[in-house]
């Protein structure tokens, strides 16, 4: 174990401060572990070759320094804070072994300890690197309109009543109301709505949503600290703090065990001396007990399987952020799924429309950057339709486009439809037809839903902010029967809490972040997922293939089974060797071999999960 690695990175939970910046910790630990191993091999080889004692003693003591200085320093710092570091106990045991002439056994302790710690640091750092580079959710700056003109300010300094200018393509800096201008805003990350929403004077806008092709003057109606984004972040922090209590309990148990082990060791040393026992055998027994009773094997019983599973998942496009997260994924027995951008692709596609109408609409839309326009042009090309040239193109934000096609004036504009997004195509003031569009279900969604149902024994639940008709249609396509639609972020949180069992929530939008943090475990879609959602989730799917979700859950369950088996092996070694030392005479070399052998055994057993054969989809 490397001091600080587990406590900083693996107990961080959804608080990702620990992975915000690159750290040279893993590189440093690897170098010191290599140095300690090389010195040990040189010293042990020199002893076997018959070199003078001072030569191999010097090499082995140098091994102690290379592999033990950092754990010792960390342990001393822990003592200053009135906590007992197990790593320090191992250093003390190694020094105790050297003090009675067992310098090789102590050196072996140091080498295995340093090597396992370096491995843990490397795997943990690799996981941290996988989730680095996320951007802030909301814009940091805003263009404030004053009597003197425009002025760029920090978004957090805005106050109710201020007016800001939002140019095309910029993110809106505050919750407010449109005072002037026409545009569209991409609010998918806030509301779950997959298509840009038209914005005119009087319409509300949200901080962090993306402005479309028009310029907007927005009057701030909420203090930045009370915006929708700020409230979502607050809910995430609250749920994250709740999760951390479990880790505090684990730390307390570890502290109590360490204190008890030290107390027994001291008793084994002092009590026999009071009754006239010889110093050297008494010290040898006490040091042997400290070694065999050390919980290092128990610690390594847990970490290698989880970290190996993290590395395995990372190679296949799932970034699990910590060993705690992997463990939580292995215990889920219920699943809730978002719709837009999770089960669906989050972009519109044409579902109905005559070829002649689609051809005219594509001609008019071919210069448009609007998602609907791009979808219409793409559909025409997929059908192999001819797209005539167009002139006098004009786009009206939030309304539609107008162009002259083959001498006719073609208008493509919004059209009311209950189940789909629709546009009306008008040619020379007469309706030519209607084109309906809808968000497309991901090809992998149905298979993923089926596999999750098999894993958990019950069908996943669909939680969405979209309307009920659309939600039911998507649910029917993927095989979900329990549908809860029209949900705001707080409603999703409530729904997750009301579900029985340990819930896994899978989502991608900002509106999913509170539910991700509240659930027992959360997985975010990273390619199109919002920054806050990716930051909040316990794991991130890099690609668009949802079948990796049941695959990583299955891998986490395998890792959990390996952890349980390792704990049984490590516990059995500790109990047997400790009893042997207490009631009999356990030779120190045999105690070291048994203790370190069990440590290596559980570590290698855990590392099996690095193999690709454990990843099944």
Residues classed as catalytic? 338
Quick one: DSSP state of residue 156? G
Q: Where are the beta strands (DSSP E) in 273-429?
A: 318-320, 334-337, 344-352, 390-396, 400-405, 408-415, 421-427
Rounded CA separation 40/60 (Å): 5
H helix intervals, 537-616: 548-583, 588-607
Edge-to-edge strand list for the sheet holding 197-199: 197-199, 183-186, 210-211
Three-state DSSP state, 145: strand
Among the listed residues 546, 533, 418, the one whose alpha carbon sits nearest the alpha carbon of residue 472: 418
Burial category of 260 from C-beta neighbours within 10 Å (exposed 0-12, middle 13-18, buried 19 and up) = exposed
Rounded CA separation 45/98 (Å): 17
Among the listed residues 352, 346, 391, the one whose alpha carbon sits nearest the alpha carbon of residue 371: 346
The enclosing H or E element of 102 equals: none
Question: Would you say how long the chain is, in residues?
Answer: 617
In order of 202, 246, 559, 561, the CA distances from 306 in angstroms are: 52, 17, 6, 10
Cα-to-chain-centroid distance, residue 544: 16
Query: Secondary structure of 30-72 in the HEC alphabet?
Result: HHHHHHHHHHHHHHHHHHHCCCCHHHHHHHHHHHHHHHHHHHH
Among the listed residues 450, 473, 189, the one whose alpha carbon sits nearest the alpha carbon of residue 335: 450
Cα-to-chain-centroid distance, residue 133: 13
Quick one: DSSP state of residue 526? T
- Strand 539-541 and strand 334-337: the pairing is unpaired
The first and second tokens of residue 534, run together, are 């990716």
Rounded CA separation 72/92 (Å): 9
- Angle of helix 548-583 relative to helix 296-315, nearest 10 degrees? 160
The first and second tokens of residue 22, run together, are 């690159």
Burial category of 384 from C-beta neighbours within 10 Å (exposed 0-12, middle 13-18, buried 19 and up) = exposed
Rounded CA separation 386/393 (Å): 18
Residue with tokens 């109990």: 575
Residue with tokens 């806030």: 190
Residue with tokens 């794991």: 539
- Whether residue 30 contacts residue 5, with contact meaning beta carbons closer than 8 Å, is answered with no
- Whether residue 301 contacts residue 471, with contact meaning beta carbons closer than 8 Å, is answered with no
Rounded CA separation 107/45 (Å): 13
Rounded CA separation 341/357 (Å): 29
Q: Within a 13 Å sphere around the CA of 505, how many CA atoms are in the beta-carbon half?
A: 31
């Amino acid at each position: 174990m490397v001091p600080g690695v587990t406590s900083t990175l693996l107990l961080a939970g959804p608080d990702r401060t620990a992975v915000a910046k690159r750290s040279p910790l893993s590189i440093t630990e690897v170098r010191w572990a290599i140095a300690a191993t090389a010195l040990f091999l040189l010293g042990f080889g020199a002893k076997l070759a018959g070199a003078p004692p001072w030569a191999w003693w010097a090499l082995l003591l140098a091994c102690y320094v290379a592999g033990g200085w950092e754990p010792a320093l960390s342990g001393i710092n822990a003592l200053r804070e009135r906590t007992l570091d197990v790593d320090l106990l191992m250093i003390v045991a190694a020094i105790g072994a050297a003090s009675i002439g067992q310098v090789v056994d102590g050196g072996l302790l140091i080498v295995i300890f340093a090597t396992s710690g370096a491995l843990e640091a490397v795997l943990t750092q690799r996981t941290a690197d996988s989730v680095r580079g996320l951007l802030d959710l909301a814009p940091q700056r805003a263009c404030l309109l004053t009597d003197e003109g425009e002025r760029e300010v920090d978004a957090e300094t805005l106050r109710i009543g201020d007016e800001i200018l939002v140019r095309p393509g910029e993110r809106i800096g505050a919750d407010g109301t449109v005072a002037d201008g026409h545009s569209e805003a991409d609010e998918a990350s806030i509301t779950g709505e997959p298509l840009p929403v038209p914005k005119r004077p009087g319409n509300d806008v949200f901080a962090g949503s993306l402005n479309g092709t028009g310029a907007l003057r927005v009057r701030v109606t909420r203090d930045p600290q009370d915006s929708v984004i700020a409230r979502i972040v607050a809910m995430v922090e609250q749920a994250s703090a709740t999760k951390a209590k479990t880790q505090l309990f684990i730390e307390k148990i570890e502290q109590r065990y360490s204190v008890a082990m030290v107390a027994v060791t001291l008793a084994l040393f002092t009590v026999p001396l009071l009754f006239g026992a010889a110093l050297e055998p008494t010290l040898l027994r006490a040091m042997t007990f400290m070694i065999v009773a050390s919980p290092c094997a128990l610690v390594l019983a847990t970490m290698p399987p989880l970290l190996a599973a993290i590395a395995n998942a990372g190679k296949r496009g799932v970034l699990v952020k910590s060993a705690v997260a992997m463990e939580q994924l292995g215990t889920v027995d219920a699943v809730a799924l978002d719709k837009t951008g999770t089960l669906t692709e989050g972009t519109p596609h044409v579902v109905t429309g005559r070829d002649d109408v689609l051809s005219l609409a594509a001609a008019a839309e071919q210069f448009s950057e609007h998602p609907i326009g791009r979808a219409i042009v793409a559909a025409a090309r997929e059908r192999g339709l001819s797209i005539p040239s167009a002139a006098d193109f004009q786009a009206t934000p939030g309304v539609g486009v107008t162009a002259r096609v083959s001498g006719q004036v073609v208008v493509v504009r919004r059209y009311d439809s209950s189940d789909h997004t629709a546009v009306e195509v008008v040619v020379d003031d007469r309706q030519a037809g209607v084109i309906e569009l809808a968000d497309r279900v991901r090809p992998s969604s149905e298979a993923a839903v089926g596999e999750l149902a098999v894993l958990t024994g019950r069908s996943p639940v669909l939680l969405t902010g979209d309307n009920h008709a659309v939600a039911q249609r998507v649910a029917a396509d993927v095989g979900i029967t329990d549908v809860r639609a029209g949900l705001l972020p707080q409603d999703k949180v409530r729904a997750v809490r009301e579900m029985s069992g340990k819930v896994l929530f899978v989502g991608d939008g900002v509106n999913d972040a509170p539910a991700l943090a509240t659930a027992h475990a959360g997985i975010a879609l990273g390619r199109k997922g919002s920054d806050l959602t990716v930051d909040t989730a316990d794991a991130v799917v890099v690609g668009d293939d949802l079948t990796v979700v049941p695959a990583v859950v299955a891998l986490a369950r395998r890792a959990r089974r390996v952890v349980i088996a390792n704990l049984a092996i490590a516990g059995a070694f500790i109990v047997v060797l400790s009893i042997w030392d207490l009631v009999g005479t356990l030779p120190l070399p045999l105690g070291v071999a048994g203790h370190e052998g069990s440590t290596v055994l559980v570590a290698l057993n855990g590392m099996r999960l690095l193999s690709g054969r454990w990843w099944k989809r």
